[in-house]
Structure 1
Amino acid sequence: MEDIEMKKNWRKYVSTGVVLSATALLLAACGSSSSSSSDSSKTEDSSSAKVSGDIKLWVDTEQVDMFKPIVADFEKEYPDVKVELTAGSSADAKKDVSKDPSSAADVFMMPHDQVGQMADAGLLYPFTETKFADSVKDNNVDSAVEGATWKDELYGFPYGVESQVLYYNKSKLSADDVKTWNTLTSKGKLGTNFGDAGANYIFGPLFMSNGDVLYGDNGEDLTGTNFNNEKGIEVLKWIASQKSNSGVVQSSTEALANLTAGTTDAFLSGPWSKNDVKKALGDNMAVAAYPTVDFGHGETPMKAFLGVKLFAVNQQTKSPVAALTLAEYLSNESSQLKEFEEIGTVPSNKDLQKNEKVTSDAVAKAVMEMSDTDHSVVMPKLPEMNSFWPAMDALINDTYKGNIKESQYQDKLDKLVSDISKTTE
């Protein structure tokens, strides 16, 4: 055991040393000019340095064609950089990069909830003390910057935000009807999932809606979860009460089919369902932020988990300045606009969120409303979230089904908090 720990510490020390030495040169290069930089592998005077290098870029398979013209424009602006654009999987970023970091892409897409694991494993290039950090902080909404940050270090370039919203049939429900859970489920039928796998993602944030925190205020405190209090018990009571709510139709994989058939009038999902809902409801499709809920103290916004889409740089890149410059370019305002227009990615760029093309899109408008702190919580990046998901699913499912009695709520919450606060290897 002692030998294993020594190896872990040695790897951490070596990887940190590599980044520190490269970052020192990067800082020198970035400080020379706002328009030119030097790769960390170069030692020439930074005033004459250029952004150069061969860069491998991974984007999601279905987005390769969209990024081809963006990459071509980048290469025109930076003729000393050659970009190899290939298909990858943002969802599998940690798995794919960790297989062999030295041969993995220099720049790749990733979801923000993998930042903690990848940063601690020495897979991501930190750039807090560079001009690129200023660009990220100045141009993106605060929640997106939070998603790109781990232990006060910036590791990613946000290019989109993602949250669940409420889709509904406006021939059955009005905009006022969907403002509160009570009116939504008394005047219509909501298809949603309390009883099957996946309830964790939809209803786990209810605890934060009622004032509790998951892994502390910043989502990085392993022992900072406080669901096992009176507020947490109130949430479980509310979940249990939904079993007898005639306006709630338990719907998991069949949620969209129920909406199409008219069995339900609304359901909770994300931007990824936009085209399917449009097909199901046609001109009757409407979108709104989540309704408010009442845990016994008055109406409060029902929160959702917020996801942030990032471009990140491989810590082992041989051309960090070129890689960081490309990541910045792929996530700038014009690139985010193209990504929104072509695939519907809701931008994280502050100015673009005010663009009429974005604000006139009902789904984007609802997601942007959900992205503020009143309506969402940035999904924690701690590796221990792997323990949270199954434990939260079991708690919500069994509470809804009545398998857990009210007298057991405190013990079940105590166990949940204990289980998700254990360090994972």
Structure 2
Amino acid sequence: MKVDVKKLLIGGSILSLSAMVLGACGSSSDDTDTSTAGDTETSTKVEGDIKLWVDTEHIDALQGQVDKFEEEYPDVTVTVAVGSSADAKADVSKDPEQAADVFMMPHDQVGQMAEAGLIYPIGEKQAETIKDTNVEAAVDAVTWQDKIYGYPYGVESQVLYYNTSTLSEDDVKTWEGLTSAGVIGTNFAEDGANYIFGPLFMSNGNVLYGDDGEDINGTNFNNEAGIEVMQWIADQKDNAGVLQASESALSDLQSGKSDAFLSGPWSKNDVEKALGDNMGVAAYPTIDFGSGAQQMKAFLGVKLYAVNQQTQAPLAAMALAEYLSNQETQEIEFTENGVVPSNKDAQSSDAVTSDAVAKAVMEMSDTDHSVVMPKLPEMVSFWPPMDALINDTYKGQIKADDFQDKLDKFVSDISKVSE
């Protein structure tokens, strides 16, 4: 069945189709199930040849699950190919009809791809399963304008890695304690500071694109709390416990030049090599911006599978996406690739709860420690000016008298798409 996006968009029929085709996706492979859309009874046989795009490092872990899926759905053939989840929007939009039926992607592209008609909204049955089985932050991340558009399979946040021979658990509970007892190597002055320190503004009570991350005019960084954050960033230049480091952060940690750095689960193996038994992991510390201690927050990312809206086998594609995001597959992904599960039961498994990095990421995934990265298409306009704001403030190129004007301009600039 080939889906014509233009026809489906007329009269909201795309939602009717989704409700119709998704009814059977969470069921077994019984191919005689039927579902009703309006007054029409429609066959929901799960069949077809579908293509799956996954990042290279996931192929070995997922192949066994794909084989099991094909056993459960004998009328479906899955071809696994390498794709780049980070480039999902660009790769799918080049030629949606030739793109994979199911593909990995990061949640912050959901809004752009939904608006472009590239991914399916998920029907009620599977949506309820996603809500019931995954942590709240993951559900929020795959939701766009009150509809779920993806199947989450992992959560990702930065954590604090530190050397336990120089820093204690109490030291790393506060930024002040951390930078008094040791040195953190981190990036305020180069590209990429936006991802690490952009959430400081939310740490101090502000919001980015509103409370739900979907309000184009909902950013309020240009207030007193935002000015406090700017001053705090400027003060870090003279903080002896802060070492400017980007590419050198890991080597500085290994050499003893620094005692801590902020990174994600992707750095776990490298930090273990650098610190050995002295590797410590913790959630972010608190920070006092001038009005009392606030929990330092990070951006939370969610990994998900999405279904191409141009797929010719929507039932098979949606069944596969659900299968590859179930508890069993998430546990395999954690064991093989270190992906921290979004599934609540998988998070409770012994393997996950006994892993220090996973525990820290799960703590960071609550609303007190992180903010789900907004999915608004205008988010592409956030990154360059945020880098400039942090870099120039840290370097002393933006003076205190100019903080308000710079924040006013920033809030205005990020309300427009500038691709």
Normalised-by-shorter TM-score class:
over 0.9
Residue from 344, 353, 364 that aligns with 1:350 = 344
| Structure 1 residues 185-236: Cα deviation after superposition (integer angstroms, max 9, x where no partner) | 0000000111111110000000000000000001110000000000000000
Residues 25, 257 of structure 1: alpha-carbon distance in 2 compared, 3 angstrom cutoff? same
Q: Which residue of 184, 198, 205 maps to 2:199?
A: 205
| 1:78 equivalent in alignment to 2:68 | no
C-alpha separation in 2, matches of 1:139 and 1:199: 34
The one of 292, 299, 307 aligned to 2:301: 307
Instruction: Please tell me whether residue 279 in structure 1 is matched to residue 269 in structure 2.
Output: no
Residues 225 and 16 (structure 1), Cα distance of their counterparts in 2 relative to 1, 3 Å cut: same
Q: Which of 9, 14, 17 pairs up with 1:16?
A: 9
Give the alignment partner of residue 159 of structure 2, picking from 151, 165, 168: 165
In the TM superposition, residue 35 of structure 1 has moved relative to its aligned partner by: 6.3
Provide the rounded CA distance (Å) in 2 between the counterparts of 1:31 and 1:257: 47
Cα root mean square deviation, aligned:
2.2
* Counterpart for residue 330 of structure 1: 324
The residue aligned with 1:6 is none
2:413 & 2:295 partners in 1: Cα distance?
28
CA separation of 1:391 and 1:15: change in aligned 2, threshold 3 A: farther
Moved more, 79-88 or 12-21: 12-21
**Structure 1 counterpart SS, 2:250:** helix
Match of 2:354 in 1: 360
Partner in structure 2 of residue 62 of structure 1: 57
1:111 deviates by: 0.3
Residue 100 (structure 2) aligned to one of 100, 105, 113? 105
Evaluate the alpha carbon distance shift between residue 248 and residue 424 of structure 1 in structure 2; reply closer, same or farther with a 3 A threshold.
closer
* Matches of 2:417 and 2:281, distance apart in 1: 40
**Residues 210, 295 of structure 1: 8 Å contact kept:** yes
Task: Verify: 1:418 aligned to 2:415, yes or no.
Answer: no
Q: Quick one: which of 239, 244, 250 aligns to 2:244? A: 250
- After superposition, the Cα gap between the structure-2 partners of 1:248 and 1:371, relative to the gap in structure 1 and judged at 3 Å, is same
Identical positions, percent: 68
Cα distance, 1:135 vs structure 2: 1.1
**Of 235, 246, 253, the match for 1:241:** 235
User: How many corresponding residue pairs?
Assistant: 412
Find the residue that maps to 2:81 and give its secondary structure.
strand
Distance 1:264 1:377 in 2: 27
Which residue of structure 2 lines up, in the alignment, with residue 126 of structure 1? 121
User: How far does residue 317 in structure 1 lie from its aligned partner after superposition?
Assistant: 0.9
Q: Which residue of 1 aligns with 2:335?
A: 341
Shift, 1:34, TM fit: 10
Superposed counterparts of 1:25-64, under 5 Å:
25-26=20-21, 37=33, 46=42, 49-64=44-59
Partner Cα separation in structure 2 for residue 178 and residue 31 of structure 1: 44
Secondary structure, counterpart of 1:105 in structure 2: coil
Match of 2:282 in 1: 288
Counterpart in the other structure of 1:373: 367
8 Å contact 1:259–1:265 — kept in the other structure?
Answer: yes
* 1:39–1:321 CA contact under 8 A, matched in 2: no
Distance 1:125 1:138, change over 3 A: same
Report if aligned partners of 2:45, 2:315 keep a CA contact under 8 Å in 1.
no
Residue pair 2:49, 2:77 contacting (<8 A) in 1 also: yes
Q: 1:247 to 1:298 in 2, by over 3 A?
A: same
1:14 Cα deviation from its structure 2 partner = 3.6
Specify which of 181, 184, 187 is matched with residue 187 of structure 1.
181
Unaligned runs of 5+ in 1: 1-10
Answer whether contact 2:29 2:73 (CA < 8 A) is retained.
no
> What's the offset of the Cα at 1:404?
0.7
Kept in 1: contact 2:35–2:41 (CA 8 A): no
3-state secondary structure, aligned to 2:221: coil
Following superposition, the deviation at residue 26 of structure 1 comes to: 1.7
Counterpart-to-counterpart distance in 2, 1:303 and 1:231: 15
The AA in structure 2 aligned to 1:109 is M
Partners of 2:245 and 2:158 in 1: CA distance: 16
Classify the secondary structure of the residue corresponding to 1:351.
helix
Q: How does 1:376-391 map to 2 (within 5 A)?
A: 376-391=370-385
**Any stretches of 5+ residues in structure 2 without a counterpart?**
none
| Pairing 1:121-160 to 2, within 5 Å after superposition | 121-127=116-122, 129-160=123-154
